[in-house]
Amino acid sequence: MATSAFAPNARGYYGQFGGAFIPEMLYPNVEELRNQYLDILADPSFQQEYQQLLRDYVGRPTPLFEAKRLSAKYNTRIYLKREDLCHTGAHKVNNTVGQILLAQRLGKKRIIAETGAGQHGVATATVCALMGLECIVYMGEIDMERQKPNVYRMRLLGAEVRPATSGSKTLKDATNEAIRDWISNPVDTHYIIGSVVGPHPYPDLVARLQAVISEEMRKQLLEKTGSELPNYVVACVGGGSNAAGAFYHFLDEPDVKLVAVEAAGHGVDSGHSAATSVLGKPGIIHGSRTLLMQDEDGQITEPYSLSAGLDYPGIGPLHAYLGDSGRARFIAITDDDALRSVAELSRLEGIIPALETAHALAALDQIGAGPDDVVVVNLSGRGDKDLETYLKYAEKLTEQK
């Protein structure tokens, strides 16, 4: 993949997006990471430990499941990449396992992370417990309320969960607080970013650590369909880490259509949305130039989605570039349609998806797949953490589409 047209250049740019817009206080940390991440990732001892943990601890490879009843409903061939079966219940752990090994090799003793839905926080707390490292997770005060079970999980795992009380008190603000912590603790601390966002090299680092998803997909598709290449890969996008992992090994395969599904919230034009590819324009958030939801004065606006993992006002710079260059198609799905897809997958396949993941499923009737097409949906997480929300919206869940 080194020659990919979709790899960042030396300064971390994907086309006009990316870069490292960070205050000087963070420069040495980010520079250290930039100078070392590729060497560490390529190091045989790292690879051995990473692959072993992915297999024995995370439970990889995750299955690629042919969803026959769902396929019948949409009259196409749908496969689900079961990232929901990863240890901790979502794809997020692929990244945290890799980054904790990286942090150890950088000699860091203290780990910080941000979390929205809590999945990345849980995945970080998990690997910190495994390695015996101090762990502090910043989480928006509102998200702590929305995703209580994950707050309890992180605490049980020994992490300290610190509420982010500034701004909209959600993912964006948790990320601000984590960055401020890193500014205050530049020497001993590694910041495990949970998505393909932030200053270079984070978007590339996280994409590489999530790339195992599409690496496995290719092998599994070859076994099950006779071809490594599907016609469509569909994934939800908040910051975009599961989508980056699901797209990664297909980026240079122009015959594979990539579909990124954003949260429309109450509707793209409702004023309560997180559909960054439609509502955003180029700007800077968390150290990266990307598409960003902002007002005309360049103040970052508060996104809305019922799902705590998708209400981010930016998207990873890779995704901004995939959209800009036409390589990926973006679709926006409302809260209500996502909720209906939760019920649909639960009843047709016996799998309760996370609310974030349900956005990807809800796009199935919009992608234009034919009866012979192979569609892979990245089933990024399981729905246990969302049960309280699902109970609250029980009526909407069972409405017919």
Partner 1 sequence: MTLKYPMKDRIKTTFEQKGKKLLNVYFTAGYPTLEATVPLIEAVTEAGADLVEIGMPFSDPLADGPVIQHSGTVALQNGMNMRVLFRQLQGVRQRVPDAPILLMGYLNPVMQFGVENFCREAAEAGVDGVILPDLPLDDYVEEYQEIFRRYNLRPVFLITPQTAPERIRRIDELTDSFLYLVSGPGTTGSQQGQAEGVQEAYFQRIEAMNLRNPRLIGFGIGDKSSFDRACQYAEGAIIGSALIKAMDGVDDAPAAARRFVQSVLN
**Selected binder of partner 1 within 15, 59, 63, 167 (CB under 8 A):** 167
User: Of 42, 53, 35, 170, which Cα lies nearest the Cα of 106?
Assistant: 35
Task: Between 35 and 227, name the residue whose CB sits nearer to partner 1.
Answer: 35
Task: Between 173 and 344, name the residue whose CB sits nearer to partner 1.
Answer: 173
User: Dihedrals φ, ψ of 190, to 5°?
Assistant: -110, 135
Task: Between 70 and 300, name the residue whose CB sits nearer to partner 1.
Answer: 300
Give the orientation angle of helix 202-210 with respect to helix 92-105, to 10 degrees: 120
Q: Which stretch binds partner 1 (CB under 8 A): 80-88, 267-275, 288-296, 360-368?
A: 288-296
Residue 22 in the binding site for partner 1 (CB under 8 A): yes
Of residues 107-166, which lie at the interface with partner 1 (CB under 8 A)? Answer: 166
Residue 20 in the binding site for partner 1 (CB under 8 A): yes
What is the closest distance, in whole angstroms, from the C-beta atom of residue 193 to partner 1 in the complex? 14
**Selected binder of partner 1 within 36, 104, 185, 225 (CB under 8 A):** 185
Where is 324: in which H helix or E strand?
helix 317-324
The C-alpha angle 308, 133, 146, rounded to 5 degrees, equals 15
What is the closest distance, in whole angstroms, from the C-beta atom of residue 112 to partner 1 in the complex? 14
Contacts with 314 (C-beta within 8 Å, 6 or more apart), sequence order: 197, 239, 276, 280, 283, 285, 286, 288, 290, 291, 292, 293
Token pair 């150890």 is found at 104
What is the closest distance, in whole angstroms, from the C-beta atom of residue 143 to partner 1 in the complex? 17
**Selected binder of partner 1 within 3, 23, 132, 326 (CB under 8 A):** 23
Residue 19 in the binding site for partner 1 (CB under 8 A): yes
Task: Between 175 and 378, name the residue whose CB sits nearer to partner 1.
Answer: 175
Cβ pair 210, 94 in contact under 8 A = yes
What are the strands of the beta sheet with 13-14, ordered from one edge? 13-14, 17-18, 288-292, 281-285
Q: Please tell me the total number of residues recorded for the chain in this structure.
A: 401
Site residues (vs partner 1, CB under 8 A)? 11, 19-25, 27-28, 166-167, 172, 176, 179-180, 183-187, 282-287, 292, 294, 296-301
